[in-house]
A and B are shown apart, each in its own frame.
Chain A
């Protein structure tokens, strides 16, 4: 009777849950707390490495997106000298009106970038920024697998699937 676990399984979370959460059975992450001090220290080290990896991914994503957006802004102002004066009659409303064209599909974006248009390059930088949280979840899947934490890896995989699915549902 020493090492018995309740045979009841995991109670289902109430809303918006993954259907097969209760099917994982025993051996979930909660048992980690009974590790020996050496094992716990080893686990702590692994978790720390994972956190550093995620932090690095984000940092690279953020720096690259800022750089790309900045290049796009410079190109936009370089191509349109009318935008540059600090005072004058040229209002920014001409650029933010509904009729102003800017790329919002991947094909339009591709041709805009190939012509080195500032707007297209800015949109590319913004898309890199949008990708950073998705990349973070993807790194999460890998890192939970690395920690041999299957329930958490499955949860993260579900979140990743919904994220990628939402892009396809949008028709991007």
Chain B
């Protein structure tokens, strides 16, 4: 495979990664890392660097369409970023202290459970109309969005800010420790613990993963993990895909988004368990 074949084929795969990532709020890393390591036999360090680029590309590409459609809850996202960025920075200092294999097994199980919890909520996905959560009320984290699939404005209330913040701290920590997209923990935290509607959880996670990834991007750049010949097709492909995926999110139902998310989460969970048990 010559360099031009590599660049063109990787850009096309990245378009698909961008569509999927922006639809479910996970970032393109879920697709990019296995594709680069298994299909192209690229070094894992460079694959993780490319994954960070793809996460930011998903986030920014999708956001240009999302914010206009007002699905992202910017207030809740910014509020929860306190915990995620703090987690990401503290995780950078814990990397050498914790056994990675144990972490992979542990979070493989955690994600397995959260895929189950997300799946179980598929019939009880009614937005809340009251909230007694004092933090959510104080910062007015509640919101409403226009759902083109249901053709109506859907108001919702937010609860569970404390468990939400704790989970977001863990999400930031894990993404720094294991180099996995923290969206896998962010979406269940917003969906199950804070009762944000599924589409809002996905769109808000999309906003947040970009900010979290930017917090560790400096480290990856200095360590020389961002290789331009890999990053260029990934960035352009994912940006194109994410812009498209963001428009798809409006049209599909919340249930579809939920089911796609659960399937991807199961795959990630198996992948992590495998890395922990048979490294």
Which residue numbers of A lie inside 8 Å of B, CB to CB?
10-11, 13-18, 28-30, 32-33, 51-52, 54-55, 58-59, 61-62, 65-66, 69-70, 72-73, 76-77, 80, 83-88, 90-93, 95-98, 100, 102, 104-105, 118-120, 122-123, 125-127, 129-134, 136-137, 140, 151-152, 155-156, 158-159, 162-163, 165-167, 169-172
Which residues of chain A come closer than 8 Å to B163, judged between CB atoms? 14
A133: which of B7, B42, B213 is its contact (CB, 8 Å)? B213
Closest-CB distance, A67 to chain B (whole angstroms):
10
Closest-CB distance, B205 to chain A (whole angstroms):
13
B228 adjacent to A163 (CB under 8 Å): no
Which residues of chain B come closer than 8 Å to A66, judged between CB atoms? 235-236, 239
Interface band, chain B:
35 or more
B82 adjacent to A163 (CB under 8 Å): no
Contact with A along B140-179 (1 / 0, CB 8 A): 1000000000000000000001110110110010000000
A133 adjacent to B5 (CB under 8 Å): no
Known: A10-B138, A16-B169, A166-B89. A86 touches B5 (CB 8 A): yes
Does B14 reach chain A (CB closer than 8 Å)? no
Closest-CB distance, A108 to chain B (whole angstroms):
10
| Stretch with Cβ within 8 A of A (4 or more), from B108-116, B120-128, B217-225 | B217-225
A83: which of B2, B43, B138, B225 is its contact (CB, 8 Å)? B2
Closest-CB distance, B22 to chain A (whole angstroms):
13
Which residues of chain A come closer than 8 Å to B227, judged between CB atoms? 96, 100, 102
- DSSP majority for the B interface? helix
Does B119 reach chain A (CB closer than 8 Å)? no
| Stretch with Cβ within 8 A of A (4 or more), from B72-80, B195-203, B264-272 | B72-80
26 contacts between A and B (CB under 8 A): A11-B134, A11-B135, A16-B82, A16-B84, A30-B137, A30-B140, A55-B64, A58-B63, A69-B235, A73-B7, A73-B232, A88-B2, A90-B3, A91-B2, A95-B6, A96-B229, A104-B222, A122-B229, A131-B214, A132-B60, A155-B81, A158-B82, A159-B81, A165-B89, A166-B85, A166-B216
Which residues of chain A come closer than 8 Å to B20, judged between CB atoms? none
Which residues of chain B come closer than 8 Å to A130, judged between CB atoms? 53, 56, 214, 217-218, 221
The chain B residue sitting closest to A13, CB to CB, is B165
A72 adjacent to B228 (CB under 8 Å): yes
Does B250 reach chain A (CB closer than 8 Å)? no
Which residues of chain A come closer than 8 Å to B217, judged between CB atoms? 130
The chain B residue sitting closest to A131, CB to CB, is B214
A72 adjacent to B165 (CB under 8 Å): no
Using a CB-CB cutoff of 8 Å, which residues 38-81 of chain B contact chain A?
40-43, 46, 53, 56-57, 59-61, 63-64, 67-68, 70, 74-75, 78-79, 81
Known: A104-B224, A105-B222. A129 touches B63 (CB 8 A): no
Which residues of chain B come closer than 8 Å to A73, judged between CB atoms? 7, 232-233
Does B226 reach chain A (CB closer than 8 Å)? yes
The chain A residue sitting closest to B59, CB to CB, is A133
A93: which of B41, B221, B228 is its contact (CB, 8 Å)? B41
Closest-CB distance, B7 to chain A (whole angstroms):
7
Q: How far is the CA of A86 from the CA of B8 in the complex (A)?
A: 10
Closest-CB distance, B246 to chain A (whole angstroms):
11
Known: A129-B56, A137-B211. A69 touches B78 (CB 8 A): no
Q: How far is the CA of A10 from the CA of B134 in the complex (A)?
A: 7
A51 adjacent to B78 (CB under 8 Å): no
Does B215 reach chain A (CB closer than 8 Å)? yes
Does B21 reach chain A (CB closer than 8 Å)? no
Which residues of chain A come closer than 8 Å to B26, judged between CB atoms? none
Closest-CB distance, B165 to chain A (whole angstroms):
5
Known: A104-B222, A119-B228. A91 touches B1 (CB 8 A): yes
Does B180 reach chain A (CB closer than 8 Å)? no
